[in-house]
Structure 1
Amino acid sequence: MGAAVVVSERMFDKRLRSTPTEPGVYLMRDSSGKILYVGKAASLRHRLSSYFASSAGLPPKIRRMVSKLADFEFIVTESEQEALILECNLIKEHQPPYNARLKDDKSYPFIKLDMTEEYPLVYVTRKVADDGARYFGPYANATSVRRTLAVLKKLFPYRSCTKTITGTDDRPCLDYYIHRCVGPCIGAANKEEYGEIIDQVAMFLEGKTETIVNGIKTRMEEASEELEFERAAALRDQIQAIEKVHEGQKVLHLTSENVDIIAAAQGKRESWVEVFFIRQGKLIGRDNFLMHSTPDDDMDEILSAFIKQFYDATPYVPPKLIVHKPISDTAAIEEWLTRKRQSKVQIHVPQRGEKRKLAQMVADNASQALEQLTIRRIHEETNNTSAMDELQEALSLPNVPRRIECYDISNIQ
């Protein structure tokens, strides 16, 4: 392995000396031209030279990558932050085998509120655009986002139809009668009243449940004073439903902070990343993501890769991220996130106190989840092996089947 590194160093010696010292992104390729690794650097020459200086100081994964290296290229950028963004995009596009990266990161779903519509809908999308809409997410999978939508629909009577709203329909759909829609189609709610409901949906997704409840209480009291007791009762039921969900959100000793707490557990071929979303000092949700990784990856590399790829996709960045382990490139990532948020973002590794306990709790959840996933996969593999043995016996096959092909013959004449 050491010999391969020496050969590579001699092969690239002149090119390395002429490589600029500016910040940028570099791509490592094998003999077939396949991209093995994408990285960023404050100084391209210094970073690239470090791969060939001495194999003793390189992690095992990097030594294996260098042994396959046949060529490299680089892209000079104006700043390290610009290099960070470009690195994220190139990893997402090429999915290099030696980079820690999110699995299926192009397909994460978001909840979208299209505020440009007269009567906005609440729906799922997998594309975030600068189109005036509000996006919440990303969620780990369709199940996570469907669970959230189910809660929203129970709490807030927004419309789920896609018809053009004129307010002159003869009769509403079933949702109106079971208090799941305010009925803008029949003119039971005007544009402003419906807009208040959409604002409440957005505030709920942001964790501002107290603001929502106070607003609905004011409307309930007004309805009661105007002797609209049926409307007041419906608003009372809505308050109770929201407060019931609110009670299930664990209140943390973080004053009114908005924080994401991130921790990871490392496996042989992948890592489980757990994220707890704290809004207004309350745990309003959690999600988990799988990342391609190897046992040779450092935890700081896994966490750093996740933060860059996750917050590159999400439209919202909280003012503080808490991680259970230190990460590399903290200053550059903080500056990038600050620009994205347009206000200061801090990455914090707590050493003691309540925040340290919370970070450890998230890390414990990640470890337990990865262990459960491993057990589940072993069980599934055992079941599959047993099924193939039974199939071999039933069909009197000479060997266990490794491939099964199926053909649709319904249209064959």
Structure 2
Amino acid sequence: MTIDELQQKAKLLPSLPGIYMMRDSLGNIIYVGKSKALKKRVSSYFGKTIKDEKHKMKRMVASIVSFDYQETDTELDALLLECKLIKELKPIYNSLLKNDKRYRFIEINREAELPRVNVAFEKGDVGEYFGPYDIPYRLNIGVEAINSYYKLPLCKKRVQKKECLAYRMKRCIGPCQEEKAILIDYESRLQEAAHFLEGKDLEILTYYEEKMQMASERLEFEKAVQYREYIAVLKMLGYRKEAIGFSLDNRRGIALVKIPRGGFKLYLLRGTQIVYTRCFEEIAAPVQKEHKQILQKAILEAGDKYFKQRLQSKKHLEKGEVDEAMITYYYLKTKRESCYEVIEENDYGKVQKRQINQFLNKAFKNFQ
């Protein structure tokens, strides 16, 4: 198919969540992607905007002769299916385009002339790397917040002039002074930054929360907004460790996710592992009392079977399991289209029925 033919085919796609698979002239799948609006996303590959893309992207588009797609109920389903297919099929351009698309790392390279926290597009041979993170446009904000809190250098190279402006303003600890006490403190701060990125030290969040509160009280709203943004991104950086811990805990939970074509999808989970799903496309806002009763009954009946299964606990997760845990945890924690609740660990009875009722009230209040 020509680019024009591919573009026309893309225009016929639904504006719904799903995955798409690009194929070359031999029929090989060379790229797998996902979108919450297939028509818009796939069309973007064959439009004029592709001229502004990077060389690898242009090369991939030039290789496409056809594509397949598969609708999913929700964006969460699309994310998980994309992850699964990439692991199974290993399309060549998912590897080549991974860094160009959205993934970044945070790097602390102690062998640099002036080590600090940096954003990196890929892992190097030296240094500590954290991630990958798929928040490319906000990751720089997080790095700025970390360097500012630990007063790490703003410069990449040492300067001959002592007591630069950043040092005098107490924005940098001043390793260029080359004083023994400062260098020891400098090394300690680099280690503390690494501990935060490992999820071991969260004092930085408390610090910025206090700064935001003080700025608000002083009516310094621009500063308050900046600190709020710092806090939001720093919390995102901690999701990886949280997701792994949450998955290993294996606590049971319930989620309702809006279906774009109408209705809701019910998910029952153990940790971040989805053990049961069911769509209720007939239930739409405003939710009626009988709708809540239908959902409550469905949850109790399904939960009685699935939640009582004792899944084998794990001490660690494989890489593929970490990816899926991150996807599920991040989606349920951040997306407005979803509502999630942990259910207490005891046999089904009045307590669970009350919890489920509370969850449904909360969910539909959020979805109004």
Same fold per TM (> 0.5)?
A: no
Aligning the two structures, in what range does the TM-score lie when normalised by the shorter sequence? Answer: 0.3 to 0.5
Q: Structure 2 length as normaliser, TM-score? A: 0.38
Answer with 1 or 2: which has the greater Rg: 1
